[in-house]
């Protein structure tokens, strides 16, 4: 009987520890932060953990997609004009990500590391003209540590590149895995702007973001 009682007490203790561990994880993201309003109506990405509440360096979160930690963040919003396109970068972050095991195959097409850093942006793209336009907010990205990635390396796959309807708008995330995390600035080269006949009508812009 004593053995049965001991086992029951041990089970209760372990269960309590597990519960406390989960509470401590949640606490690291539950400061006074609130989800920024520009995320209204945003549908969570199926491949990457939710980072909407992660706004400060060192914050950590875990969900069924994996674990995220903030390594750098820039929350000053800026709008850039690229011809008839208004491109707004709402936030830029460098995040360390440990994907859930169920997503490993997806990320193997980008990296063979089990966990990695990536640079992430939330952007808004507005076509201010009365004709369809084609545009990519990030065609090439260069980091201060000497790495270069292109639009083809985007891990979010939220269909932000390509055609934008007349007076239409798109918003969402773009993310690029990097090998060197000691990044203090990045240089973004947008694509040129094309009309529906694939004729270039505006040159792209170069944008610098400091962390």
Give the model confidence (pLDDT) of 107-156 as tens digits. 999 999 999 999 999 999 999 999 999 999 999 999 999 999 999 999 99
Q: What is the mean pLDDT of residues 32-53?
A: 92
Are 187 and 92 part of one and the same domain? yes
**Considering the chain, what is the average pLDDT of its residues?**
88
Strands 169-178 and 140-143: unpaired
CA distances, 6 to each of 1, 18, 139 (Å): 9, 18, 62
Are 146 and 86 part of one and the same domain? yes
* Size of the chain, expressed as the number of residues it contains: 211
Give the CATH number for residue 97: 2.60.40
Q: What is the mean pLDDT of residues 70-96?
A: 97
Q: What is the mean pLDDT of residues 38-51?
A: 95
CA distance 37 to 52: 10
Residue 18 has pLDDT above 50, yes or no: no
Pick from 146, 133, 129, 145: which is nearest to 190 by CA? 133
Terminal Cα distance for the chain, rounded: 62
Q: What is the pLDDT of residue 181?
A: 77
Are 39 and 3 part of one and the same domain? no
Pick from 209, 135, 204, 148: which is nearest to 176 by CA? 148
CA distances, 18 to each of 12, 45, 115, 122 (Å): 10, 27, 24, 34
Question: How many Cα atoms within 13 Å fall on the side-chain side of residue 82?
Answer: 29
Are 144 and 91 part of one and the same domain? yes
Are 20 and 109 part of one and the same domain? no
More confident position, 5 or 181: 181
Q: Give the number of domains in the chain.
A: 2
185 pLDDT band, cuts 50/70/90, is very high
Q: What is the mean pLDDT of residues 92-109?
A: 96
Q: Which domain holds residue 21?
A: 1-30
Q: Tell me the chain's radius of gyration from C-alpha atoms.
A: 21
Are 45 and 97 part of one and the same domain? yes
Q: Sign (positive/negative) of CA torsion 94, 98, 100, 102? A: positive
32 pLDDT band, cuts 50/70/90, is low
């Amino acid at each position: 009987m004593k053995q049965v009682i001991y086992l029951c007490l041990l089970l209760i203790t372990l269960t309590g520890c597990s519960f406390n561990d989960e509470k401590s994880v949640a606490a690291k993201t539950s400061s006074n932060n609130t989800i920024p309003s520009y995320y209204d109506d945003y549908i969570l990405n199926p491949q990457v953990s939710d980072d909407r509440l992660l706004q400060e360096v060192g914050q950590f979160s875990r969900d069924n997609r994996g674990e995220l930690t903030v390594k750098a963040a820039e929350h000053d919003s800026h709008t850039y004009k690229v011809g008839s396109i208004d491109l707004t970068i709402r936030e830029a972050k460098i995040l360390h990500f440990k994907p859930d095991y169920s997503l490993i195959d997806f990320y193997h097409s980008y990296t063979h590391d089990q966990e990695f850093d990536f640079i992430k942006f939330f952007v808004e793209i507005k076509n201010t003209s009365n004709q369809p336009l084609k545009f990519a907010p990030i065609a090439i990205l260069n980091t201060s540590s000497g790495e270069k990635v292109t639009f083809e390396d985007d891990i979010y796959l939220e269909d932000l590149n390509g055609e934008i309807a007349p007076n239409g708008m798109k918003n969402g995330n773009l993310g690029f895995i990097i090998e060197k995390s000691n990044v203090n600035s990045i240089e973004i080269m947008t694509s040129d702007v094309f009309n529906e006949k694939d004729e270039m009508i505006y040159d792209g812009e170069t944008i610098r973001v400091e962390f």
